[in-house]
Structure 1
Amino acid sequence: MHLPLSRRAFAAMLGTAMLPAAVWAQGEPWPSKPVRLIVPTPPGGATDRLARMLAVELGKAFGQPFVVDNRGGAGGSLGTAVVAKAPADGYTLLFTGVFNTINPGLYPKLPYDYVSDFVHIAPMTQGPNILVAKPDFEASTVAQLVALAKKKPSSIDFGSGGNGTSGHLTMEMFQRLAGIRMNHVAYKGTAPALQDVLAGVVPLMAINQDTAIPHIQGGKLKALAVTSRQRNPVFPAVPTFVEAGFSELVVTSWAGLDAPKGTPSAIVERLHDATLKAVQSKDVQDRLSAEGWIPFATTSQADFDKFVRAETTRWLRTIKDAGIQIE
């Protein structure tokens, strides 16, 4: 037998049934305020330029400002640590890059685990290093450089922006694979190292492609090889190290987006999709291509996570083999 419900009892039951919907409706949708994008490098460099480009596009996509906050220092580890300790609510994000897969090998006591303490959301872009020299340097190809280094062991200098930078590690990989030994001259930044190469003080260095473009096109530097798997469209005449017989020497300086571990999957998915849409837009692609940046072959979050893990493992091995240490 079914007894009729009173109006009060029916109202109470209805209110209970609708409680989750009411709670959801009262919650603030993400993002309801500006999002902080931590860039763990100083202003003005390639990482900072890329981050600001992405921040503008994400701001358009979500209707809230993505505010760039530069926190440079300790090879990018200081700014990365800020994000590792931030609430996992989608309001503090990390603009990441190759430095974060290098640092675990250089700084054994980092206050975070880069592989597991972050959600690796999406890649933005990548670009090769380029081995450059003054036009009058006696070697113009990788084969000629190897022959020269074997003829004059430990007599050729190469510069870099500092111990453990991608340019330094590229040259360490090259020496190990080629069975040669050259002298590393570490500078406090890429700019002074490049200045000395242009002046002929140091004959060689491996440098990011975007920085090298104006000097190569202006005839102030010559390019011996690029570290991408395929030739770079901006330098179609410059061979790869792979073509020169060094199939393992594939190095890219890359950039992407991370969040603290535990960030809700719905937010992560929206950020992933918005990042890819921004990067694939014609305006952004034109700007990236003009600086020699190239797209990632795969862009899923799972593939980006695998990429980060593989890069971290590879740089750990390279740094250990080269005996590189940072005090």
Structure 2
Amino acid sequence: MTARFIPISRRTTFGAIAAACAALALGGPAAANTWPEKNVTLVVPYSAGGPTDVVARLLAVPMGQSLGQTVVVENTVGAGGTLAPARIVRSKPDGYTILIHHMGMATAPALYKKLPYDPLKDFEYIGQVLDVPMTLLSRKDFPANTFPELLDYVKKNQDKVSLANAGVGAVSQLCGMLFMHQVGVKLTTVPYKGAGPAMNDLMGGQVDLLCDQTTQTAPVIQDGKRAKVFGVTTPQRLASMPNIPTLDEQGLKGFDVKVWHGMYAPKGTPKDVIEKLNKALNVAIKDENVKKRIAELSSDLVSPEKATPEGLRKHLEAEVARWDKVIKAAGVSAE
């Protein structure tokens, strides 16, 4: 019997290609469903023991439990908190390297003339995490005991008063700069490599003043033996510290600095992966131990509406616009 040769038509060829593509497309979500298959690295822009690091390590455990993999916290410190976001931008967009950052993501564009990333274009958003008030502290043996006394002292002795911060571009630097701007003084600023070292030197009496987040300062304030507190930086008093007045009510009208935190991934990270990371984040902020510890640090976890990619995107856009005006008006620059 003579074999018959049946030619393959263009239609048959294109049909086969289309079928193959469809099969690959169906395989994409299936592959995504296996994520994560290894540990996830959560990058922190500041030193171990600092406010953002404390938040990251609180969230890492319940997030890891939700994901079924360990969430490893890594500190990428330097350049005022801009090295870590730059690292994320260069990372593979597979969800295995993500970032937690505070409001420095919104202030960096105004503080730095040359920024190696665009907060509004170079990231995928996972969600907001929490809001953290700040407090103004001094060393325990500082001459002033009340805020009016503090204002009088720094105005008369500004060349002798030192003001610590967690490093160039850190929120503590911004808070300190705004304080000096509104009071009308120029103090000696002392930058550290993180909030932890700055707080240690304040308690040790090596520096005079520090404005920092309650995640860092609450234990010191509650202790009452290692530093003095002169006020909180939010418009309203804190429920956890009702006896501490705001700087606004003590004369610095409009003084409002609240540190918010968000989580980010490299641009191009698959939507399915972002959804899993967001789910893990929401599990973490509902965790009873996390809620208890955050409350002890006089901070507030965000609402479910804010703990979303869209919630973070909208908030970041608004904050970039807000701080651009504030920083330029105050003449603050990290360079």
TM-score w.r.t. structure 2 length?
A: 0.79
Root-mean-square deviation (Å) = 3.2
CA deviations 1:109-137 (Å, max 9, x no partner) are 22211122112221122322210124454
1:130 is aligned, of 127, 135, 144, to 135
CA contact (8 A) 1:84 1:117 kept: yes
Report what 1:263 is aligned to. 269
Shift of 1:57: 1.7
Report which stretch shifted further, 18-27 or 226-235. 18-27
Residue of structure 2 in register with 1:114 after alignment = 119
TM superposition shift of 1:279: 0.5
* Match in the other structure for 1:4: none
Partner of 2:32: 29
* Matching residue of 1:204: 209
Residue aligning to 1:222: 228
Q: Which residue in the other structure is 2:175 paired with? A: 170
Match of 1:310 among 302, 306, 318: 318
* Other-structure match for 2:57: 52
Q: Is the 8 A contact 2:127 2:262 kept in 1?
A: yes
* C-alpha separation in 2, matches of 1:242 and 1:287: 27
Moved more, 62-71 or 141-150: 141-150
**Structure 1 278/198 Cα, relative in aligned 2: closer, same or farther at 3 Å?**
closer
Q: Give the paired residue count.
A: 315
Report the equivalent of 1:241.
247
Match of 1:188 among 187, 192, 195: 192
List runs of 5+ in structure 2 lacking aligned partners: 1-14
Q: Which amino acid aligns with 1:290?
A: E
| CA–CA separation in structure 2 for the residues paired with 1:217 and 1:245 | 24
Superposed displacement of residue 282, structure 1 = 1.3
- For structure 1, the 5+ residue unaligned runs are 1-12
Supply the distance in 2 between the matched residues of 1:165 and 1:237 (Cα, whole angstroms).
27
| Segment drifting more, 146-155 vs 277-286 | 146-155
Q: CA deviation at 1:107?
A: 2.7
Q: 2:259 aligns with which of 238, 243, 253?
A: 253
Tell me if the contact between 2:41 and 2:74 (Cα under 8 Å) persists in the aligned partners: yes
**What is the match of residue 45 of structure 2?**
40
Establish whether residue 288 from structure 1 lines up as the match of residue 290 from structure 2: no
The answer to whether the aligner puts 1:71 opposite 2:76 as a matched pair is yes
Runs of 4+ in 1 over 6 A off after TM superposition: 16-19
CA deviation map 1:247-294 (0-9, x unaligned): 532212332211122333333233223312310221210122222222
* 1-structure distance, mates of 2:251, 2:302: 23
- The 8 Å contact of residues 141 and 225 in structure 1, kept in 2 or not, is answered as no
The 1:87–1:22 alpha-carbon spacing in structure 2 relative to 1, beyond 3 Å, is closer
Query: Residue 169 of structure 1 contacts residue 318 of structure 1 at CA under 8 Å; is this kept in 2?
Result: no
Counterpart amino acid of 1:71? T
- Matched to 1:64, the amino acid is Q
Deviation digits for residues 179-203 of structure 1 (CA, Å, limit 9, x no counterpart) = x214132132334543443344433
For 1:309, the aligned partner's letter is E
Partner of residue 320, structure 1? 328
Range 21-30 or range 42-51, more displaced: 21-30
1:301 aligns with 2:309: yes
The equivalent residue for 2:5 is none
TM-aligned CA distance change 1:319 to 1:63, over 3 Å:
same
Over the matched positions of the two proteins, sequence identity in percent amounts to 32
The structure-2 alpha-carbon separation of the partners of 1:33 and 1:246, relative to structure 1 and needing over 3 Å to count, comes to: same
Counterpart of 2:31 in structure 1: which amino acid? E
Secondary structure of the corresponding residue to residue 28 of structure 1: helix
